[in-house]
Amino acid sequence: MERGYQKILQRGYKRGIMFTKSSPEIYYEKIGTGKPLILLHGNKEDHTVFNKLISSLKNTFTIYAIDSRGHGKSDSTDEFHYSDMADDVLRFIDEIKLEKPCFYGFSDGGIIGLLCCIKRPDAFEKMIISGANITPKGLKPLSRFGSRISYFFSRDKRTKMMLSEPNITVSELKKIKCPTLVLAGEFDIIRKKETRLIAGSVPNSTLRIIKGKGHGDYVVNSDYLRGTITEYIL
């Protein structure tokens, strides 16, 4: 941990960049001041998809932008499971001693956020998820077909995970205690009934469909979410 931190400082970075202590090492960047907010990206992305969002939120929140295992600068593993990625986030919270952070997760990041709160119902003060599903069939058929084709040619284990996971039940969603905002684009790759099922099953949740948007065009390198996150959390 200390070695990685010193290396970044020598390169002149002003943001705190560290590694957690135990395996796999999980990379994150810390920037800003205010209420702690964890940002978690989608499949085959990394924390940089939030660059514009971070820039617009850094004066309001202390942001912890994490790279999931096997993504960005975090360690990889032989297999990928959403449950393990949720354990990584909870371990991260414990190791740096964050108390009731807020959370925003996009796509796979949203799935991981749900699992964090199923494993530890009071993990977050408030949670926002967007474009998340609770079963592979929650993806629209064309998207699932595209993922199967992608896996056939790439054999990417992260894509394989998407084809068989998650498998979250309604009874598990009912364990979540923190206030939750469930977002999806009007033209998202997630089935509308899946998004409504999540919002209808998580206690103290709010559903918001973003008109005219798809799966990630309001997230990736965008500050579109700034107002939504600030309004909901503060």
What is the CATH number for 84? Answer: 3.40.50.1820
Rounded CA Rg of the chain: 17
Is residue 110, in this structure, part of any structural domain at all?
yes
Is residue 138, in this structure, part of any structural domain at all?
yes
Q: Quote the pLDDT of residue 173.
A: 98
How does 161-194 read in b/e, with b if 16+ C-beta sit within 10 Å? bbeebbebeeebbeebbbbbbbbbbeebbbbeeb
Is residue 122, in this structure, part of any structural domain at all?
yes
Amino acid at 191: R
Q: Are 26 and 36 in contact (CB under 8 A)?
A: no
DSSP category for residue 23: S
What residue numbers bound the domain in which 170 lies?
29-233
Is residue 151, in this structure, part of any structural domain at all?
yes
Q: Quote the pLDDT of residue 23.
A: 74
| φ and ψ at residue 36, rounded to 5 degrees | -70, 135
Number of separate domains in the chain: 1
> Where do we find the tokens 């799935």?
111
Is residue 131, in this structure, part of any structural domain at all?
yes
Is residue 7, in this structure, part of any structural domain at all?
no
> Where do we find the tokens 């975090």?
74
Distance CA 143, CA 127 (A): 26
Q: Quote the pLDDT of residue 15.
A: 47
> pTM (2 decimals)?
0.92
Q: Quote the pLDDT of residue 223.
A: 77
Is residue 152, in this structure, part of any structural domain at all?
yes
* Beta bridge partners of residue 36, listed in sequence order: 62
> pLDDT of the chain along its 234 residues, tens only?
333 333 333 333 334 455 556 678 889 999 999 999 999 999 999 999 999 999 999 999 999 999 999 999 999 999 999 999 999 999 999 988 999 999 999 999 999 999 999 999 989 999 999 999 999 999 999 999 999 999 999 999 999 999 999 999 999 999 999 999 999 999 999 999 999 999 999 999 999 999 999 999 999 877 789 999 999 999
How would DSSP label each residue in 129-158? EES--SSGGGB-HHHHHHHHHHHHHH--HH
